[in-house]
């Protein structure tokens, strides 16, 4: 009779404890040394057993902390209702979010600040060391490629990698259709400036990522908010009704894992939106920066996958998945390719070659997919932990989104609480968060905050969130 290898036997008994709930999600595992001693097996057997449990998705290794039982897969805390879709004003409005953003950006940087504000995963979740090693090697082996102007759309190796990846997004972009940019922000700038100018009106989600609003503000373009559902994104019927009444130069949105709502449009809605783009000759700027951080079974298809006539300009970057510091993004501008190339050229001529080459190599030869899988798992667990703490510590009547991916939760507090005040108060106690007013060109969302959880979810971060909850409760007693 064939016997089970020792490490499998050990893994099976631990997995039984996890599956029966005897060992709970988040619990620290006995150290490898201790388990080896207790079970009278070698360290190699213990390591193999823990690795097997890791590949089964039952435990996770945290650097310098050991192994932990993974949080069970389940829906978010249902005690918290989702915020309702808002009916924003149907009038375009000039954008004025920059003063508050400036206040946030120019506040003294305190390295001990507990960050619930920044929508960027922390370096501890990125393969920074591997990318640095690649860059060090490239400076020796590709030195001649690095010290010259790189005219054109960017390093071909990276454009080819983006093309290969695009298969997963439901596309098949050729490298000629891709322009490399300095992050997604430059891609958005290029895209919006390719199709709209001062005085025009551009439709955005409600609430919308404040970066979209800043680009509009900087270009003197007015924003028109379209009602948006926290689960399925922009209301296409409402958009079409607005299009029938007024001139809208373009739409800017994230069809997948939007910021701050975390909404993902169903394929049917994406198809309809692309049909509307064709009917009204309406350019659409699609920001797919969070598309790879989905929580579902499959990578959601890009809106551009349904675009038959080239109206969709797809923008993305590696900021949320690999490294924010290297500033590498891209745009596939569809029918606006020539204009986009010109604007990219007149903005920054080209993007630095070294980071592009390094990212291309990591995508081609590094453990990119494995890294993305681990990142998605961590972020999904984080969102759940945020939900639990919000449900336990925030005032009665608080609502929170159930995002389809990413690492931000949009939290609605009882009406009357001023979250810009709450933001300033939290900041004075060393906690950052993003107040709701940042996400609109109108005066809505004053009682909303966006909580980001792109770091390892530690006890101090959890306490910081609970502290914000306590401040919100106190504010609720005064309304």
Ligand X SMILES: Cc1ncc(COP(=O)(O)O)c(C=O)c1O
| Binding footprint of ligand X on the chain (CB under 6 A) | 119, 183-185, 209, 211, 254, 259, 287, 289, 317, 319, 324, 329
Instruction: Give the nearest distance from C-beta 30 to ligand X in angstroms.
Output: 39
* Distance between CA atoms of residues 90 and 246, nearest Å: 10
Query: Mind spelling out the 3-state secondary structure of 288-322?
Result: CCCHHHECCCCCCCCHHHHCCCCCEEEEEECCCCC
Instruction: Give the nearest distance from C-beta 186 to ligand X in angstroms.
Output: 7
Residue number, 222 or 320, with CB nearest to ligand X: 320
Residue number, 253 or 472, with CB nearest to ligand X: 253
Q: Is 379:121 a contact under the CB 8 Å cutoff?
A: yes
Q: Which residue has the tokens 């393969």?
A: 127
Which tokens is 111 given?
């390295």
* Distance between CA atoms of residues 233 and 231, nearest Å: 6
Instruction: Give the nearest distance from C-beta 196 to ligand X in angstroms.
Output: 17
Residue number, 171 or 289, with CB nearest to ligand X: 289
Instruction: Give the nearest distance from C-beta 185 to ligand X in angstroms.
Output: 3
Residue number, 183 or 334, with CB nearest to ligand X: 183
* Distance between CA atoms of residues 32 and 44, nearest Å: 9
Residue number, 34 or 103, with CB nearest to ligand X: 103
Distances from the Cα of 119 to the Cαs of 16, 19, 229, 230, in angstroms?
A: 37, 33, 20, 18
* Distance between CA atoms of residues 234 and 254, nearest Å: 9
Within 8 A by CB and 6+ apart from 363, the residues are 158, 161, 165
Instruction: Give the nearest distance from C-beta 212 to ligand X in angstroms.
Output: 8
Instruction: Give the nearest distance from C-beta 331 to ligand X in angstroms.
Output: 11
Q: Is 250:226 a contact under the CB 8 Å cutoff?
A: no
Residue number, 119 or 276, with CB nearest to ligand X: 119
Within 13 Å of residue 147, how many CA atoms lie on the same side as its CB? 6
Comparing C-alpha atoms, which of 203, 200, 177 is closest to residue 285?
203
Residue number, 23 or 328, with CB nearest to ligand X: 328
Instruction: Give the nearest distance from C-beta 287 to ligand X in angstroms.
Output: 5
Instruction: Give the nearest distance from C-beta 105 to ligand X in angstroms.
Output: 12
Residue number, 317 or 401, with CB nearest to ligand X: 317
Bridge partners of 186, per DSSP, are: none
Report which residue's Cβ sits closest to ligand X.
183
């Amino acid at each position: 009779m064939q016997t089970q290898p020792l490490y499998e036997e050990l893994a099976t008994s631990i997995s039984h404890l996890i599956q029966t709930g005897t060992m709970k999600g988040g619990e620290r595992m006995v150290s490898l040394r201790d388990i080896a001693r207790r079970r009278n097996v070698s360290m190699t057997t213990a390591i193999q057993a823990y690795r097997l449990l890791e590949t089964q998705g039952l435990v996770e290794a945290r650097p310098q902390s050991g192994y932990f039982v993974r949080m069970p897969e389940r829906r978010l805390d249902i005690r918290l209702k989702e915020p309702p879709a808002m009916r924003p004003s149907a009038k375009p409005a000039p954008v004025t979010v920059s003063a508050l953003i400036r206040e946030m950006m120019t506040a003294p940087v305190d390295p001990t600040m507990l960050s619930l504000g920044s929508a960027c995963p922390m370096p501890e979740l990125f393969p920074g060391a591997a990318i640095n090693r690649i860059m060090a090697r490239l400076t020796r082996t590709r030195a001649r490629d690095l010290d010259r102007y790189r005219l054109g759309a960017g390093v071909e190796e990276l454009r080819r990698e983006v093309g290969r990846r695009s298969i997963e997004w439901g596309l098949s972009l050729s490298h000629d259709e891709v322009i490399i940019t300095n992050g997604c922000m430059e891609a958005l700038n290029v895209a919006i400036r390719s199709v709209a100018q001062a005085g025009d009106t551009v439709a955005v989600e409600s609430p919308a990522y404040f970066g979209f609003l800043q680009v509009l503000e900087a270009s003197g373009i007015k924003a028109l908010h379209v009602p948006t559902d926290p689960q399925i994104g922009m209301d296409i019927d409402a958009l079409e009704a607005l299009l029938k009444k007024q001139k809208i130069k373009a739409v800017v949105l994230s069809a997948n894992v939007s910021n701050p709502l975390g909404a993902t449009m169903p394929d049917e809605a994406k198809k309809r939106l692309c049909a509307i783009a064709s009917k009204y000759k309406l350019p659409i700027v699609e920001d797919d920066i969070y598309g790879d951080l989905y929580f579902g079974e499959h990578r959601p298809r890009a809106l551009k996958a349904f675009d038959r006539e080239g109206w969709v300009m797809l923008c993305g970057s590696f900021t949320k998945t690999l490294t924010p510091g290297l500033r590498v993004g891209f745009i596939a501008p569809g029918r606006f390719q020539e204009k986009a190339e010109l604007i990219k050229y007149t903005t920054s001529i080209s993007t630095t070659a070294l980071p592009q080459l390094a990212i291309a190599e990591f995508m081609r030869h590094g453990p990119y997919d494995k890294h993305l899988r681990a990142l998605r798992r961590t972020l999904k667990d984080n969102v759940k932990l945020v939900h639990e703490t919000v449900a336990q510590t925030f005032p009665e009547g608080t609502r929170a989104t159930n995002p389809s991916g990413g690492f931000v939760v949009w939290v609605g507090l009882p009406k009357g609480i001023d979250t810009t005040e709450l933001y300033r108060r939290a900041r004075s106690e060393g906690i950052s968060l993003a107040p709701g007013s940042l996400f609109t060109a109108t005066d809505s969302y004053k009682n909303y905050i966006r909580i980001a959880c792109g770091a390892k979810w530690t006890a101090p971060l959890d306490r910081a969130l609970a502290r914000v909850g306590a401040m919100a409760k106190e504010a609720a007693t005064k309304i």
